[in-house]
Structure formats: structure tokens, C-alpha cells
Amino acid sequence: MHPSIYREFDVSFSPSQDEGNEAGQPEPTLYVRLRERSSGEELVFKLFVDEGTTPERWIEEQVLRRFPLTAAARALRATYGMTQHMLRPGWEKSFGDRLYSALRQPGKLTHGPRFWCAYIPALPPVLYSAMTTRAIARISELPQPVELKTLVKTLHDAWLVVLTDGANLSLPLSGMQRLAMDLGGWDSRHLQAMSPLELSQLKEKAHFARLALGFLADEDWVRALTPCLDLNQPQ
């Protein structure tokens, strides 16, 4: 759970028994009490967890909904990309290098960024170039200011499309296929000149990179994109 919550709130947990499930058996339940220290305001809610939601994330959601003006809520919005920003002039220059450098900041490497910092240099240059080119093209289409989580999704989806194309690539390419690949950020001339071994290596790298996109948490994507933002003009 984000440390800002503990700085502003007293958090306590109370086990209970709900009336029962469909079989008539009581179900153990955990209730959470949040008390804002400055105002004394309290919120009690049932800890709800489903697929894709951790208990910590559910508590953070309640802070965002019920205490939106607190410093904790502001910190959470920044962490999860819920703020709006303008892109910094020239953000697209050395875009791939900026992402890589941001991910490998000392002292902030969790397992996801650590994997990608080791994996990006091992990617075939034509593959990482296509990932970068497609991301720049898609981000450039977004209106500004743009919500940070929209930028994250755009970058993620751009990479996903390129990695899917790379994992499924077969040669030779027809004229229409070459055009489609060029429009998607690829250098089709380079692809056409690859040897069977180079093609096999590209497909393998793209396949594992596509699987590894899930290693990056929202905070990792936000950190990667932060150097491209004009942080003097959040909205």
C-alpha cells in the first residue's frame, strides 16, 4: 500500500462473519477502518478483492473516492497516472533511450524493470526501433494535455502490436505486407534482407518480450514516461 496513506490515516482491520453464502454457511469477512488524523473523519468498508485487484489496491481506491483532496489521494493519482500533462517539447527525440534510462534508475529496480533493462539491449535493433517508432506515432496522435494513464496504455498497446507482429513474422513479404509493416513502424527493407537465423531470433525475442509486458506495473510505465512530460504544467 502506498506509504502516503499511513502518513495521513490510521488503518485498522476487523474480522467479522457475514450472514452466509448460498449454502447458508457464514463467510469470514474483513472490514477496514480508515481514520483521517487531521479531521477525525472515518470510513469503514468491507475489504473486497477480485481477480486483478489486491487488498492494498482496494484500500487505495477508497482513499481516492472518499478522500480525494488529501495528500495521499494526490500521491496516488500521480503514482497511477491519473494526472494530466503536456508533453515536453522534443519528447520524441531519443525516445527509446529515454525510456530505457528511466527504467534503469538506481535504487528503483523491481523485478519487472530489472528484466527489461537486461532484455532491451538484447533485442534486435530493428525490433526495438519498430517499438519506438510505433509508440512515437501513436502518442503523437493524442490530444494535449493528456492523462498519464492514457499515455501508459498507448505506449503499452504500441509495443504489444509490434511484438505481436514480430512474433508472427514470416518471410518473404508481399508488396501489401511490406506497406503495412512500414506503416506499423517497421523497416520492411531490413526485414526482407534477414537470414532465416536472424528471422528466428527476432521471432523468439519478440515472443518473450510480448509475454514480459506484464512484468511492468503501472508505476514502472509512469516512471519510464516521466522524462517526456512537462512537469511544470500538470492539470
- Reference 42, options 1, 74, 14; nearest CA is 14
Q: Are residues 90 and 70 in the same domain?
A: no
Whole-angstrom distance, CA of residue 220 vs CA of residue 108: 9
Count of structural domains within the chain: 2
Is the omega angle on the peptide bond into residue 172 within 30 degrees of 0, that is, cis? yes
Is 235 within the bounds of a domain? no
Residue that terminates a domain, selected from 36, 60, 79: 79
Query: Is the pTM of the predicted complex or chain greater than 0.75?
Result: no
One digit per residue, pLDDT tens: the chain, 235 residues? 888 899 999 999 988 766 555 555 556 788 999 999 999 999 999 887 776 678 888 899 899 888 988 999 888 888 777 788 899 999 999 999 999 999 888 666 678 888 999 999 999 999 999 999 999 999 999 998 888 889 999 999 999 999 999 999 999 999 999 999 999 999 999 999 999 999 999 999 999 999 999 889 888 898 899 899 987 755 5
Query: 11 vs 58, 148, 172, CA distance in Å?
Result: 13, 29, 61
Q: Which residue among 79, 99, 128 closes a domain? A: 79
Pair (99, 73) in one structural domain: no
Domain interval for residue 56: 3-79
Is residue 223 situated within a structural domain?
Answer: yes
Residues 19 and 106 in one domain: no
Q: Do 8 and 115 have their domain in common?
A: no
Same domain, yes or no, for 56 and 143?
no
Gyration radius (Cα) of the chain, Å: 22
